[in-house]
Amino acid sequence: MARRSRIEMDAEDTELNMTPMLDVVFILLIFFIVTSVFVKSPGLEVTRPEAITAQEASPTILIAVSNEDEVWIDKLPYAVNEIRPIVLALRDENPKATAIIQGDRNAKAGTVMQVQELLQDLGVITRVSTD
């Protein structure tokens, strides 16, 4: 019987177990995905009027009103009478939702007011942004 030395056997049978490292990587990935903050945008860049005071806000619902009376929510345009179910779905997703309405400088005040009244009827805390 030929006897191999211990050094030769260990060199041939050595494997690196990657399972614990992969577990840690996946746990870190899940942690960063869960704790990340996603930036919401209405999908329309509005030209805002000048404002003397500006306040920082982090709304959960961001609505933009264009100068063509289009209401943009989650990068999709809607008419004013079409946004009730969309806002209801967003409010049901987050009952403590706050909303900011961004009105274009040339947007009609009546359209912005209709959107604001709809949000108030649905119980969503609303702020009209001019900054």
62 closest CA partner among 81, 82, 38:
38
Q: What is the pLDDT of residues 45-75, one digit of tens each?
A: 766 666 666 566 666 788 889 888 889 988 8
Q: Is the pLDDT of residue 127 over 80?
A: no
Clarify whether residues 75 and 118 are in a common domain: yes
Clarify whether residues 114 and 72 are in a common domain: yes
Number of domains observed in the structure of the chain: 2
Q: What is the pLDDT of residues 78-114, one digit of tens each?
A: 998 899 999 888 888 888 878 888 888 888 888 888 9
> Do the beta carbons of residue 130 and residue 49 sit within 8 Å?
yes
pLDDT given for residue 101 in this prediction: 87
Per the domain annotation, does 41 fall within a domain?
A: no
pLDDT given for residue 24 in this prediction: 93
Clarify whether residues 66 and 100 are in a common domain: yes
Range of the domain at 12: 6-35
Total Cβ atoms within 10 A of residue 42: 22
pTM over 0.85: no
With bands split at pLDDT 50, 70 and 90, how would you rate the model's confidence at 26?
very high
Q: Is the pLDDT of residue 23 over 90?
A: yes
Per the domain annotation, does 49 fall within a domain?
A: no
Please say whether the dihedral angle defined by the alpha carbons of residues 103, 116, 98 and 51, taken in this order, is positive or negative: positive
Clarify whether residues 68 and 116 are in a common domain: yes
Q: What are the residue ranges of helices labelled H in 37-124?
A: 84-93, 109-121
Clarify whether residues 17 and 72 are in a common domain: no
Name 79's Cβ contacts closer than 8 Å, sequence gap at least 6. Answer: 69, 70, 71
User: How long is the chain?
Assistant: 131
Distance in angstroms (rounded) separating the CA atoms of residues 84 and 63: 12
Higher pLDDT, 113 or 131: 113
